Amino acid sequence: MTKRKIGIFVGSLRKESFSKKVANTLAAQFPADFEVETVDLNGLDIYNQDFDDEGQVPASWTKFRETVKHFDAFLFVTPEYNRSVPAVLKNALDVGSRPYGASVWDNKPGAVVSVSPGNLSAFGANHHLRQSLVFLNVPTMQQPEAYIGNVTGLLDETGSITDGETLKFFQSIIDAFVVWIDHNSKK
Ligand SMILES: Cc1cc2nc3c(=O)[nH]c(=O)nc-3n(C[C@H](O)[C@H](O)[C@H](O)COP(=O)(O)O)c2cc1C
């Protein structure tokens, strides 16, 4: 049986990003019949419609669009910048959404996990991201909601997430996402 492919998109380029640590932990919790790839957003050129209109598309866009096309579902793990989605992740959505009519996101299931060292758990980023995903026609998992607050308290001395209760909650997110993917994938 061919493995279903999950693309993970992290809204932080920071080397020691908490969101990356959460994403890596979640990636390891998918069942064996899933292939999981975290897409590197570093170096993805900023969207400029002229490039599409004039057919002068940066190589980073072509590579990104080709990569995303092959995924069956998307997991977005994001911090919050100024109560919204970090530019790097919004740019990835924009690049993948064009040229008009050729969006690589269209009609594939997704899930959103927001991460913050603060109490509010990046709620603003989580919901601004969902607003874009509605327009992009990415059916986005509603429950369980995944707001990871006070994230530094979840990391052990090596910077890994090993706490049993946290891992159980993360596993419940992935288990629900697998069901969501089954229900929302094109047959
Ligand atoms: C430009 C900027 C804006 C930020 N705005 C918020 C915010 O609105 N809400 C929040 O919880 N944290 C905010 N933070 C703090 C981030 O949550 C923190 O830097 C976090 O470590 C970023 O995620 P990362 O560890 O995955 O890189 C902001 C940080 C930066 C650099």
> Do β-strands 73-78 and 34-39 pair in parallel, antiparallel, or remain unpaired?
unpaired
- Per domain, the residue ranges of the chain are 4-184
pLDDT digits (tens, 9 = 90+) for 87-139: 999 999 999 999 999 999 999 999 999 999 999 999 999 999 999 999 999 99
Could you tell me if 25 and 170 are in contact, meaning their C-beta atoms sit under 8 angstroms apart? yes
Give the Cα separation of 2 and 169 in Å (integer). Answer: 28
Q: Atom 10 in ligand 1: which residue has the minimum CA distance?
A: 80
Instruction: Verify whether ligand 1 is closer than 6 Å to residue 82 (CB atom).
Output: yes
Q: Which helix (H) or strand (E) holds 78?
A: strand 73-78
Residue 117 CA, ligand 1 centroid: distance in Å: 8
Q: What is the structure's pLDDT at 169?
A: 98
**Among candidate residues 98, 176, 180, the one with its CA nearest the CA of residue 138:** 180
Pocket test for ligand 1, best of 13, 24, 41, 81 (most atoms within 8 A of CB): 81
Give the Cα separation of 83 and 50 in Å (integer). Answer: 29
Pocket test for ligand 1, best of 116, 126, 147 (most atoms within 8 A of CB): 116
Average pLDDT score over residue span 74-97:
98
Q: Which atom of ligand 1 is nearest to the CA of 78?
A: 26
Say if residue 1's pLDDT is above 80.
Answer: no
- What's the pTM? 0.98
Q: What is the structure's pLDDT at 159?
A: 85
Q: Atom 9 in ligand 1: which residue has the minimum CA distance?
A: 80
Return the CA Rg of the chain.
16
CA distances to 58, 64, 96, 139 from 184, rounded to whole Å, are: 32, 23, 20, 7
Q: What is the structure's pLDDT at 36?
A: 98
Q: What percent of the chain has pLDDT over 90?
A: 96
Cis peptide before 144 (omega within 30 of 0): yes
Say if residue 182's pLDDT is above 80.
Answer: yes
Tokens 């594939």 found at: 108
Average pLDDT score over residue span 156-174:
95
Q: Which atom of ligand 1 is nearest to the CA of 120?
A: 11
Pocket test for ligand 1, best of 12, 80, 89, 128 (most atoms within 8 A of CB): 80
Average pLDDT score over residue span 145-164:
95
Instruction: Verify whether ligand 1 is closer than 6 Å to residue 83 (CB atom).
Output: yes
Give the Cα separation of 187 and 183 in Å (integer). Answer: 10
Q: Would you say domain 4-184 falls under CATH 3.40.50.360?
A: yes
Average pLDDT score over residue span 26-41:
98
